Structure 1
């Protein structure tokens, strides 16, 4: 990522952690400000409501995972989804399954508010692996979709002329966002929002710096558990194997999002051949699998896919392409982990289909 003006040196004896950018008519990102800190950036979603549901007319390929995505289809197209968290099976009656689960509030326009007249429900587990289908869901109540707006505070902003102009024009809005950067200025993560400035004042961090209040809540704020990960990656791309292992599944997912933005030297050119060793001791979920796979092929902090598109990297552009040999050590950890068995088998099949020799140990 190259932002016009972002290659200038930070003019203060402060830690630069963020770049405020805007997109011009040509789609180029332009620098608005360098920022020392942001308050109100990290936020957990609203608590989910726990409900008892009956999945009627189920056809299942295995046990229901703890996190279940129910995709709602109208004819031949998906029109929305419901996310069920911490799913617990209470009773199973022939093809009906009674569960207790947290129902996540709707998060996007795609997440339809009204159910189609003749819907079809497809069930997905972690990493978008299909686990079956059902005819309907009885007892489902849709929670309130959004949390109240929470303003963000941009602390210690060194504004460019573009931002100074925006401050002179109340109500200015546009396609803007924040890049989190590491100590060297390398971009790590991006969040978009509307630039709706409600207040600005001199910052205690230095003369000429501003603290700016932004009214708009982030549509997709990083969760609170991501804060220590961002702080760790701020010091540089981790170089210790299995640094991702202590985190929960959601923390490992956030790790993958940071790894995806790591345009390191391994991205210079694709290479094939050779033998790579995957440390499977901590592969207990889909995110952990992709953390371990990226590390096996490219080293600590590297990215090699995630989720339903986890194997697109095999087509090239991410540093390693088939054919090569992958020795998967302690493979039984993944094979025996609840909710991961199906994805483990699918992973092995897909790797072998793409001319990867997989050796399970």
Structure 2
């Protein structure tokens, strides 16, 4: 295990080949694993603010054409770098498509799912400047036979890692996650980690780094899953969503048998108990519900559709059951007045209660 004095670094990485194939090798550390993904940039002209917009805005920000001739556009993990100018706003975010139609000209309203942020006369997508991607370096790599033979072949194809993945294990050696790795070998040189080890430098052009803001959450989980509920409670919304991604990913990796209907849980022999003190955002709602049903670090849906799926079985619960929701007023205050993707009012608190009721869960608000 390798530590830098301040952070426990990701260890026991495996560069795996195609599915069910042999591993390329195992390394101690990965340089370039964390970074900032390429972000789309929007400039909003004639900006009329309705709320202060600065720094990180939200995980899902919608741009809604006022004339309703086109559907809204989504900007994920949206940020506003610097202060807004007198009559314009720069917005950056993750964008998996080409952006809005170039021909669209008209007023657009902007919201983050909780409140209207403002409106603009028109907006455009600014193409980012080309910049070289930093390499991905697998340090202290013990190469497998296939990887050891690749440079010997002397062909360009032999240096390509097609359909590979970077598998990460936690401090206990248990599988944690894996990342797609389509790249090619740039360089191969002796490693300071040991005489039989190498540092393998890979082209990072097609690699999407893990966002820097996610690192503290991942390092917490790499030390092992939480042994008490509410370990996420002190996180801000952005990092709560990272925590929710982790518990969702872990749930997909293992099959958990459903407990009998009317599970015994602390209260009256037939009840789940949800600690609602920290349900101040949507991620907190699903984290608290997951822990109520499946214990610390548990998962029981990450959105309404996923909650419906969980209520059908194979996620640790079988209906019917009772859920006692402690401090429900906190969720009602923060989740009742929200906005749907198209800007229409949305009562998320009432929607969750309806989904639970339809799924055979009787909710007692306390």
SS of the aligned residue for 1:261 comes to: helix
Asked if residue 276 in structure 1 is aligned to residue 272 in structure 2, the reply is yes
| Structure 1 counterpart of 2:333, from 333, 336, 360 | 336
**TM-score normalised by length of structure 1:** 0.74
CA root-mean-square deviation: 3.9
Asked if residue 69 in structure 1 is aligned to residue 57 in structure 2, the reply is no
Work out the CA distance in 2 between the residues paired with 1:113 and 1:293.
Answer: 36
Q: Deviations over 1:3-55 (max 9, x none)?
A: xxxxxxxxxxx9843111121xxx43542111211111111346775754679
Asked if residue 352 in structure 1 is aligned to residue 344 in structure 2, the reply is no
Asked if residue 179 in structure 1 is aligned to residue 167 in structure 2, the reply is yes
For 1:236-247, what aligned pairs fall within 5 Å after superposition?
A: 236-247=224-235
Work out the CA distance in 2 between the residues paired with 1:204 and 1:243.
Answer: 37
Q: Cα gap change, 1:196/1:266 in structure 2, threshold over 3 Å: closer, same or farther?
A: closer
Alpha carbons 1:84, 1:102 under 8 Å: kept = no
Asked if residue 157 in structure 1 is aligned to residue 153 in structure 2, the reply is no
Work out the CA distance in 2 between the residues paired with 1:100 and 1:277.
Answer: 48
Alpha carbons 2:40, 2:95 under 8 Å: kept = no
Asked if residue 216 in structure 1 is aligned to residue 204 in structure 2, the reply is yes
| Structure 1 counterpart of 2:125, from 120, 126, 142 | 142
| Structure 2 counterpart of 1:313, from 307, 310, 313 | 310
Q: Cα gap change, 1:292/1:338 in structure 2, threshold over 3 Å: closer, same or farther?
A: closer
SS of the aligned residue for 2:195 comes to: coil
Asked if residue 196 in structure 1 is aligned to residue 196 in structure 2, the reply is no
**Paired residue for 1:19?**
14
The Cα of 1:332 is off from its aligned counterpart by: 1.4
Q: Where do 5+ consecutive residues of structure 2 fail to align?
A: 1-8, 49-56, 81-86, 263-269, 339-346
The Cα of 1:300 is off from its aligned counterpart by: 0.7
Work out the CA distance in 2 between the residues paired with 1:104 and 1:205.
Answer: 39
Q: Cα gap change, 1:117/1:231 in structure 2, threshold over 3 Å: closer, same or farther?
A: closer
Alpha carbons 1:81, 1:111 under 8 Å: kept = no
Work out the CA distance in 2 between the residues paired with 1:327 and 1:193.
Answer: 44
The Cα of 1:102 is off from its aligned counterpart by: 5.1
- Tell me the matched-pair count: 319
Work out the CA distance in 2 between the residues paired with 1:265 and 1:111.
Answer: 33
Q: Where do 5+ consecutive residues of structure 1 fail to align?
A: 1-13, 57-64, 88-98
**Paired residue for 2:150?**
166
**Paired residue for 1:90?**
none
Q: Deviations over 1:190-224 (max 9, x none)?
A: 21121311111111111211111111246542211
Q: Cα gap change, 1:69/1:279 in structure 2, threshold over 3 Å: closer, same or farther?
A: same
Q: Deviations over 1:278-298 (max 9, x none)?
A: 111111111111111111111
Greater shift, 308-317 or 76-85, is seen at 76-85
The Cα of 1:241 is off from its aligned counterpart by: 1.4
SS of the aligned residue for 2:149 comes to: helix
| Structure 1 counterpart of 2:298, from 298, 302, 305 | 302
Greater shift, 185-194 or 217-226, is seen at 217-226
The Cα of 1:225 is off from its aligned counterpart by: 2.0
For 1:255-270, what aligned pairs fall within 5 Å after superposition?
A: 255-262=243-250, 267-270=255-258
Asked if residue 31 in structure 1 is aligned to residue 23 in structure 2, the reply is yes
The Cα of 1:310 is off from its aligned counterpart by: 3.1
Alpha carbons 1:80, 1:111 under 8 Å: kept = no
